[in-house]
Chain A
Amino acid sequence: MLLEISALTKKFGGLQALSDFNVALEEGSATALIGPNGSGKTTAFNLASGFYKPTSGTIRFAGQDIRALKPHEITALGMARTFQNIRLWQDMTVLDNIRISQHHCLDYSIWDCFLWTRRFRRREHEIDTHAYEMLECMGLMDYAQEYPRNLPYGLQRRVEIARAMSVRPRLLLLDEPAAGLNSADVGDLIQLIRWLRTEFKDLTIWMIEHQMRVVMSLCSSIKVIDFGRTIAEGPPEVIQSDPNVIKAYLGDENI
């Protein structure tokens, strides 16, 4: 198991945002986390990426307990994520956005930086090469020197995924990657993620998504939560007909 979360609970004051949350992601799998708004999906991501500290429960990533680690340390272990509302560094070029995400690879100190030592030049060169490769394979080469804020929304999403991929992750968390995209863009996104899975063989994907089209065509397993509790789990076909899920999304018919 690449990511193993068990009995995870997070409380904000009196509010139980997530309770007894369990998930186990196999290497190379694609799993979706769905649920109505405010059901605790992003909280689960924030806990996994170290942005929140859990109230109780364990999180193991690649066999290591990551609860005490800082977000950047978890990222360095190979977990990258995107954000629900795009959080690119808007005043830096696309290329710089991708360069900076390789901060964990930097093995030089500030003195190397002043003196431009051999180690510094070699590392910067590697970072540049990797960044250009990433742009090339994500089809963003033409926008390398653009500022993200000048790009259309769909492309910004793509840049954000490219930025997350440049961390060289084993696990990619996608927080509503299709939110705000039109249907053509959603098609492109599905293609892109599919392509990522074939290109990076062991890449594991865990996504939060509302659009069933994306979930159905990409994920082999779905987990549904509501009010912080898991209400259903299984392959897409089963979930689609699960009465609990229908109730959570559409409300109880009897009322």
Chain B
Amino acid sequence: MQKYSFKALLLAITVGFVLAVHFQLVDQYVTTVAMLMGINIILSTSLNVVNGYMGEFSCGHAGFMCVGAYVSSVLSVLLFTKDRVFGPALLPEGFAVIGVPLVILIGGVAAALAGLIVAVPSFKTRGDYLAIITIAANYIIISCLENMDVIGGPRGFQGMKRVVGAMEDVWDIPWMPMLVLVGTILSVWAIRRFVSSTYGKGISAICQDEVAAEIMSVNTNKMKLVAFMLSSGLAGVAGGLFAHVYGYVNPQSFNILKSTECLVMVYLGGMGSLSGSVLSAIVFTLLIEALRFAIPALNALAHQLHMVPASYEIGQVWKWVVLPLILILTMQFRPEGFMGKKELSDFFPFLKKFYQRLED
């Protein structure tokens, strides 16, 4: 019974959430934030594979997200809906119901292949030189897409809303919240299984002593390839979900700033802590949304106390001042991130006892 309790809990959350959205118990805004949270969880946990467990410093995660987003969007618009540029749908629109999850997965595969740009140089070099290669990869990917006029270039690409609409025509349930939730759970679960297997622990061995790992029979090149491709592939899935949730993608929304967000989430949670990454993605998303409301309140307060000149309004731009400030302070107080290298079960021993059998 204990063995299935966790899965049952997840299932209950999924079904509960989807039902709540379906019967409009939660409003549009909450749903969007929840979906964004899910996407951020995928991004931070997948980046943690490379930056936390393998100890590399990849700062171009958004680039892979971009590949996934574009590949899946273009495919789904091409296949499932009528488009100004691509003409009529290649497949009946109803196929979108099974097609969109598949297309998002294909986006993930494409992103994993794009991950090769970074994975192959990592055989020879590591550390800050690799960091540069990831930044350059991010720029190159964005720049490539900006130069492709067929898919909108710098103006961005849209049409995914119609595909999602087609899915809802077939069966009127909240498809995107469901897909995001399933995607999040599956990817965290996949990473969890990967890093806790002997196979996946090879990447931690590489992090701690690459020479010893190679000599102790770990095929370091293959493990690097696997880690980078897993990480970028999941980022691609996150990108695909992102594109279908918002219905619009633009190369600049995957620029280095987005990569920075991913980095922040990983290091805030703790390098090499999966539950830390999940937690920090949740906290980070909530923080951004909370600031959206806090700033006008702060503005009103400051004006009431005459702390700022009457002509000056504290606008939303302060969000990006307060946020880094909070993060800098957090780093000062928790220089290892929220969780360090530990997992949730290390802090709450009863969880460990309860799920002992799952671990085995």
Which chain B residues lie closer than 8 Å to A10 at the CB level?
none
Q: How far is the CA of A213 from the CA of B313 in the complex (A)?
A: 81
Stretch at the interface among A13-21, A36-44, A93-101, A200-208: A93-101
- From 56 to 110 in chain A, residues with beta carbon under 8 angstroms from any chain B beta carbon are 70-72, 75-76, 80-81, 83, 87-92, 96, 99-104, 106, 108, 110
Which of A80, A106, A120, A123 counts the most chain B CB atoms within 10 A? A106
- Whether B209 pairs with A89 at a CB distance below 8 angstroms is yes
Which of A71, A100, A114, A167 counts the most chain B CB atoms within 10 A? A100
A163 at interface by CB-CB < 8 Å: yes
| Least CB separation from A75: chain B residue | B217
- Whether A106 pairs with B212 at a CB distance below 8 angstroms is no
- Mark each residue of chain B from 274 to 309: 1 if its CB lies under 8 Å from any CB of chain A, else 0: 000000000000000000000000000000000000
- Whether B214 pairs with A71 at a CB distance below 8 angstroms is yes
How many interface residues does chain B have, given as a range? 20 to 34
| Least CB separation from B189: chain A residue | A114
- Mark each residue of chain A from 124 to 137: 1 if its CB lies under 8 Å from any CB of chain B, else 0: 10010000000000
Known contacts being A72-B219, A100-B205, A114-B193, is A83 close to B212, with CB within 8 Å?
Answer: yes
Which chain B residues lie closer than 8 Å to A49 at the CB level?
215
Question: How many residues of chain A have a CB within 8 Å of chain B?
Answer: 36
Which chain B residues lie closer than 8 Å to A103 at the CB level?
198-199, 202, 216-219
- Whether A113 pairs with B197 at a CB distance below 8 angstroms is yes
Q: How far is the CA of A70 from the CA of B223 in the complex (A)?
A: 14
- Whether A104 pairs with B217 at a CB distance below 8 angstroms is yes
- From 206 to 250 in chain B, residues with beta carbon under 8 angstroms from any chain A beta carbon are 208-209, 211-221, 226, 230
Q: How far is the CA of A58 from the CA of B197 in the complex (A)?
A: 38
Query: A133 → chain B, closest Cβ, in Å?
Result: 16
A51 at interface by CB-CB < 8 Å: yes
Checking B201, B211, B217, B221 against A51 with a beta-carbon cut-off of 8 angstroms, the contacting residue is B211
Query: B327 → chain A, closest Cβ, in Å?
Result: 25
Which chain A residues lie closer than 8 Å to B204 at the CB level?
89, 91-92
| Least CB separation from B206: chain A residue | A89
B200 at interface by CB-CB < 8 Å: yes
Q: How far is the CA of A71 from the CA of B197 in the complex (A)?
A: 22
- Whether A102 pairs with B217 at a CB distance below 8 angstroms is yes
- Whether A100 pairs with B216 at a CB distance below 8 angstroms is yes
Q: How far is the CA of A72 from the CA of B211 in the complex (A)?
A: 10
Known contacts being A91-B208, A110-B226, is A72 close to B197, with CB within 8 Å?
Answer: no
- Whether A89 pairs with B199 at a CB distance below 8 angstroms is no
Query: B304 → chain A, closest Cβ, in Å?
Result: 51
- Whether B216 pairs with A163 at a CB distance below 8 angstroms is yes
Q: A103-B217, A114-B193, A163-B216 are in contact. List 15 more A-B contacts (CB 8 A).
A: A70-B214, A70-B219, A72-B218, A80-B216, A89-B204, A89-B208, A90-B208, A100-B201, A100-B202, A102-B217, A108-B199, A113-B194, A114-B194, A124-B198, A167-B216
- Which B residues form the contact surface with A (CB < 8 A)? 190, 193-194, 197-202, 204-205, 208-209, 211-221, 226, 230, 341
7 tightest A-B CB contacts, nearest first: A104-B217, A75-B217, A87-B212, A89-B208, A101-B216, A103-B218, A71-B214
